[in-house]
Chains A and B, each alone.
Chain A
Amino acid sequence: MAQFTLPLVGGDPVSLTTLVEQGPRLLVFAHADCPTSHLALRHLAQLEAGPVKPVLIAEEPPEEAARMARRSGVGFPVLAQEAPFPVSDQFGIEAVPTAVLVDASSRAVESLVGWDRAGYERLLGGPLPDLGPAVKPGCGSRLHEPAVRAGLDEVEDMFERGWTDGLPVVPPTPERVERMLGGRDAGRSLGAVPPSGGEATLERVAACAVLAGCRPEYFPVVEAAVQAALDPVLNPHGLAVTTQAGGVVMVVNGPARERLGLNAGMGALGPGARANMTIGRALRLVLTLTGDARAGRLDRSTLSTPAKLGLCIAEDEERSPWQPLHVERGIEPGSSAVTVIAADAPLSISDHRSRTPDELAWVLAQAATVTWSPCWWPMDDDSLFVIGPEHAAMFASAGWSKERLREAIFAAATRTAGELKRGETTPAVWESPDDRPIHKWADASRILIVVAGGEAGRYSAVLGPCDGMQTQPVTREVRWST
């Protein structure tokens, strides 16, 4: 004879004895990470009254059990069972969903492992709708998850769940996620994340920020980045599934940089600063986990790039002689903003010889000509130049505006149609006479310029373009209040 008392979603704790007073029950053991469990619940939600009534025993804490109930729309009792899952242990549950028929004397009569519509109809004594596969295997019960069985190694648990980018992550416990949310509405959605269409609720975004290793104070920047990255103008779907290397990079401007300790100086494009690394990573994890843009699955990038671990660039507005990127794009100077840009892998540009701004602009342009393709021109896509401070100083002392630099780079990145025809070039170039000059970009406005990097060393970098994505950068202001 079985015996238990468990928390009931929306009511007081209830015992098995009380449940079977109303007749035999079908106890359905399930958990939120099992797709077959959700399949079973969607069927059971449409069960009409019959001799046997189901009870969901979710291997979840009460809030998650409540969410499971809401999502599937079940009207029968939902019980929450937390680790170490003693009731699953009592019933010998190995896999979910498992349905156990319990009679009016609390005796387990029969059990059914996995989804089997005909089997469930027989146990329930009533018909179920046809909502998909009639039979489907399930997943392991949480009782047997390594962290429960072994009692340790949450880090391995995260790898087993697939909640990583290949590196260890911080387990998103409810307490950590709640701190990350900082009082925000967990259920508020920022939209569907392509390519899978998974919903970017603030709770899921916060989970990704926790996984990435963010501090709670970083969350407003992460939220703005996700909002920007989901804007259809950026074309996040195309970027997620392309065979190209590139992905999304973000540029942060405004007081957020100092407030959060973002690094715009030495090593600006590389590892070292927690804020840069974890904020960039949080955005990528939303795309990879919530949007299912995983390498080898829906992310078809042939080689990809290390930048797809996440790349968050803070602009050195103080050393830049020009308007910061966000002000250029219409944000008030005193505000903070995130700009998300489709970008190919970064290319490093050395120039220690140029003595004039014209020479330097020519070198920057030549380096950019080989990005993405040395011949598939012109490209109606953006290149982001990250100008190092020593290079920026040369343009500043000559009094060059950002616009003048942009035009100089555009003009210098030119080849004749004949030269381009040596390689893979566009139909438009094939139709051009050999001596016609062709520009790298369709328009000078596709050249974006920011300043960042260490004070010593004459280096700049260029990222992008991404071909044919019909993408435009998207800027979103950072909102600090909840």
Chain B
Amino acid sequence: MEYVSPIDPRVAEPLERAPRPAALDARRVVLLDITKNRGKEFLDRVEQHLKRRGAHTFRVSKETFSRPASSEVIERVAIHGDLVVEGLAD
């Protein structure tokens, strides 16, 4: 049976995640605040834990939680980090 597919095959494959690092010391971690209520407090605590494990941290904020990050934000994340922690929920 031949059908016309509603699906775009170019985006049908899920993206592969990078492998998890074995350790955090000397790794650059970006903490991305998506500007949900009190996300900053959560990221402050996470940042403390990461620093204790020897990671270098850098803070970036998204403009709003309800829209995808701008290319500027994505670029800053990419420039300043090898790893990202995203502050995601209320």
Contact = CB atoms under 8 A, between A and B. Distances in A.
Interface stretch (B6-14, B21-29, B48-56, B79-87): B6-14
A112 B47 CA distance: 49
Contacts of B12: 33, 35, 38
B65 interface: yes
A148 B10 CA distance: 25
Given A60-B2, A64-B2, A133-B16, A237 B67 contact: yes
Contacts of A174: 2-4
B70 interface: no
B13 A35 contact: yes
A32 interface: yes
A191 B86 CA distance: 28
Contacts of B3: 161, 171-174, 207
B65 A468 contact: yes
Contact of A470 (B4, B8, B37, B67): B67
Given A38-B10, A71-B9, A133-B16, A145 B1 contact: yes
B68 A470 contact: no
B2 A71 contact: no
Given A133-B16, A238-B66, A468-B65, A148 B1 contact: yes
A197 B66 contact: no
A60 B6 CA distance: 15
B9 A83 contact: no
Contact of B1 (A133, A163, A171): A171
Contacts of A64: 2, 4
B73 to A, nearest CB: 15
B71 interface: no
Given A133-B16, A427-B37, A468-B65, A38 B4 contact: no
A157 interface: yes
Interface string A164-201: 00000001111001000000000000000010111100
Contacts of A289: 6-7
Contacts of B8: 196-199, 204, 290
A83 B3 CA distance: 11
Contacts of A468: 64-66
Given A39-B13, A196-B11, A197-B11, A32 B64 contact: no
Contact of B7 (A71, A237, A290): A290
B4 A177 contact: yes
Interface residues of B, number: 20
Contacts of A211: 6
23 contacts: A33-B5, A33-B7, A33-B9, A38-B9, A38-B12, A39-B13, A71-B9, A133-B16, A145-B1, A161-B3, A171-B1, A198-B11, A199-B10, A204-B5, A207-B4, A235-B66, A235-B67, A237-B67, A286-B6, A289-B6, A289-B7, A290-B8, A292-B11
A172 B6 contact: yes
A154 interface: yes
Interface in A185-232: 194, 196-199, 203-204, 206-208, 210-211
B66 A35 contact: no
Nearest to A242: B66
B6 A154 contact: no
Nearest to A68: B9
Interface string A419-441: 00000000100000000000000
A83 B67 contact: no
Nearest to B2: A61
Contacts of A393: none
B2 A82 contact: yes
Contacts of B7: 33, 163, 198, 204, 289-290, 292
Task: List the 7 closest A-B pairs by CB distance, nearest first.
Answer: A198-B8, A238-B66, A35-B13, A289-B6, A207-B6, A177-B4, A196-B11
A56 B78 CA distance: 38
A211 B9 CA distance: 18
Nearest to A151: B1
A147 interface: yes
A95 B3 CA distance: 19
Contacts of A199: 8, 10
B60 to A, nearest CB: 19
Given A242-B66, A468-B65, A173 B11 contact: no
Interface string A125-155: 0000000110000000000010110000010
Nearest to A471: B66
Contacts of A132: 16
Interface in A283-300: 285-286, 289-290, 292
Nearest to A177: B4
Nearest to A292: B11
A220 to B, nearest CB: 19
Contact of B2 (A83, A203, A235): A83
Contacts of B2: 60-61, 64, 82-83, 173-174
B1 A157 contact: yes
A208 to B, nearest CB: 5
Nearest to B90: A424
Contacts of A145: 1
A60 to B, nearest CB: 7
Interface string B33-44: 000010000000
